[in-house]
Structure 1
Amino acid sequence: MFLIDKEKNEAISISKKTFQELEFKERKHLQEWISKNTDILGERLLIIQKEFSGFDDTKERLDLLALDESGNLVIIENKLDDSGRDVVWQALKYASYCSSLTKNDIKDIFQKYLDAQGEKEHSEKLICDFLETEDFSEIELNSDDQRIIMIAANFRKEVTSTAMWLLDHNIKIKCIKVTPYELNGQVLLDTEQIIPIVDAEDYLIKIANKKQEELINREKKQTRHTIRVEFWTQLLQEMNEKSDLFKNISPSKDNWIGCGSGYSGLAYNFVITSNYARIELWINKGAQEDNKEIFDSIYKFKGEIESSFGDQLDWQRRDDGKGSRIAYWLRDVNVFNEEDWPEMINFLTSNMVKFEIAMKKVLRSVFKK
């Protein structure tokens, strides 16, 4: 750092110091500076507790606990000249401890802090003022993931590497480098956000969010696949006791399984989703006009088919689509709710047996074989 002497038109070096050289202490000095002016951390925060130790079955203390402008809890860990190896682990532990704090917990923690400081204010009012909301009942606190800010003069490589990995996995973490300087008996403090780099912060957060979303989607997809395979396994066991129609079909990870009808381009399908279950005859022989012609030929026997089946069917010619469908539905069931499985399996298997019987004679007439 340099001081510019305008009269001499020169840059004068300012001596870089360590906190130890200046006899500054972590709790007595750096912690107090931050609590009185959170601009040191590059943002507006409301400090709600120092040396917070309100964790069950542990005597550990986090340095500073704060709220940001979104009502999220911010865990602040201060170190002086060296971050040490364990600061990330400490901060993560404290974040996990704080994850269970309720809105009332936070209000009470802040009130104890105000009382200890000799302040006459009420915590609810100060939180409302900080979040620019009139009614405390309308405020949400700690509803999102907790954030972590670490401050030190120097960060070890194992700390910065871990912080970058956590940031990449959507953990909200910052590393602030603080450097003291001395000039003519005056102490200057320089701060620099090193993780994430300020100019790239928005980009890195977007990339991390995208990766997290992709990870969640992959996990959901894998879970969905596992559930569907189990559902189809149970369904096929019951179906094969009632009919040989699906005897050569294996369980699938997809939301449908089908078998041939004995006629090219026509398949009997089971379909399951989080909203319904369906049996169908799917018509997709080739050209669109051929499919519509087959559908129309079957539709001429609508009354006979529904009489044999015992209920009305859903006749979907689908004029704008290539294929056509004749279906029967069960609404308001969810394959991802195992409690719905018995109803769904019974509906699908029982009605598919009746459906295939009702269609068999008609298909023989339509295709003349």
Structure 2
Amino acid sequence: MSSADNKIIQFWAQFLPEIKKISNKFNKIKSLPSNGWLGATSKIIPNVGYWFNVAEGHAKIMLLIGTGTPDKEVNKQIFDELDKHRRKINACINQELNWRRMDTNGSSRISIEINYVDYSQEKDWPKINNFFLECMPKFITAFDQYLLTILI
């Protein structure tokens, strides 16, 4: 295992207990990923998930549509239904989100990120943690209310 793999596991090890305190969406995660991605299903629509991503240079929160189904049309329908509420969702989170329908891809993504942070630098962990812990609950609240109304 490389030192980068060890560092990412250390990052998730210190972060996962914190997110579990404020959101039950992540309670079923038992093992730590050895890559930059940590996520869980929305528990409303099976192929829609909430994801954290860390890398050298940024940290990102994402709603990924299309995590478990090859049905591109359904994934795009979900994105389009959410997009109807874009202004309200952005307002709920109090930031402009990056809405990517990605027409040539089977999935779509809606995200928010911070730059100039690096998971491999422990000095950046508090900033990444604060971003994740402050924004993900808002993200879940903003999207879950609309995911509940989507019939697929």
**TM-score, length of structure 1 as denominator length:** 0.39
CA displacement at 1:303 relative to structure 2 = 1.2
The answer on 1:307 being equivalent to 2:91 is yes
Give the conservation status (yes or no) of the 8 Å contact 1:235–1:349: no
* Structure-2 separation of matches of 1:244 and 1:288: 28
**TM-score, length of structure 2 as denominator length:** 0.91
- The residue number in structure 1 matching 2:14 is 234
* Structure-1 separation of matches of 2:33 and 2:133: 16
Aligned match for 2:32, one of 251, 254, 267 = 251
Supply the RMSD in Å over aligned alpha carbons.
1.4
The answer on 1:319 being equivalent to 2:99 is no
Aligned match for 1:344, one of 124, 128, 131 = 128
The answer on 1:279 being equivalent to 2:65 is no
* 3-state secondary structure, aligned to 1:366: coil
Q: Which contiguous aligned blocks of 4+ residues in structure 1 show a shift greater than 3 angstroms?
A: none
Q: Which moved more, 1:239-248 or 1:317-326?
A: 239-248
Between Structure 1 and Structure 2, whose CA radius of gyration is higher?
1
Flag structure 2 segments of 5+ consecutive residues without an equivalent. none
Q: How does 1:91-170 map to 2 (within 5 A)?
A: none
Q: How does 1:1-369 map to 2 (within 5 A)?
A: 222-249=2-29, 250-262=31-43, 263-284=45-66, 285-367=69-151
In the TM superposition, what whole-angstrom CA distance separates every residue of 1:111-154 from its partner, at most 9, and x where no partner exists? Answer: xxxxxxxxxxxxxxxxxxxxxxxxxxxxxxxxxxxxxxxxxxxx
In the TM superposition, what whole-angstrom CA distance separates every residue of 1:273-329 from its partner, at most 9, and x where no partner exists? Answer: 001000011011322222112111110011111121111111011112111001011
* Structure-1 separation of matches of 2:47 and 2:75: 9
In the TM superposition, what whole-angstrom CA distance separates every residue of 1:206-252 from its partner, at most 9, and x where no partner exists? Answer: xxxxxxxxxxxxxxx61111111110011112112222221121321
Report % sequence identity: 30
* Structure-2 separation of matches of 1:328 and 1:341: 17
Give the conservation status (yes or no) of the 8 Å contact 1:265–1:286: no
- The residue number in structure 2 matching 1:112 is none
CA displacement at 1:367 relative to structure 2 = 3.0
* Structure-2 separation of matches of 1:320 and 1:296: 15
* Structure-1 separation of matches of 2:86 and 2:126: 30
- The residue number in structure 2 matching 1:10 is none
Flag structure 1 segments of 5+ consecutive residues without an equivalent. 1-220
* Structure-1 separation of matches of 2:135 and 2:32: 19
Give the conservation status (yes or no) of the 8 Å contact 1:313–1:328: yes
Q: Which amino acid aligns with 2:33?
A: S
Q: Which structure is higher in RCO with an 8 Å CA cutoff and minimum separation 6?
A: 2
* Structure-2 separation of matches of 1:300 and 1:351: 21
Give the conservation status (yes or no) of the 8 Å contact 1:274–1:333: yes
* 3-state secondary structure, aligned to 1:275: strand
- The residue number in structure 2 matching 1:42 is none
Q: Which amino acid aligns with 2:8?
A: R
Q: Which amino acid aligns with 1:329?
A: E
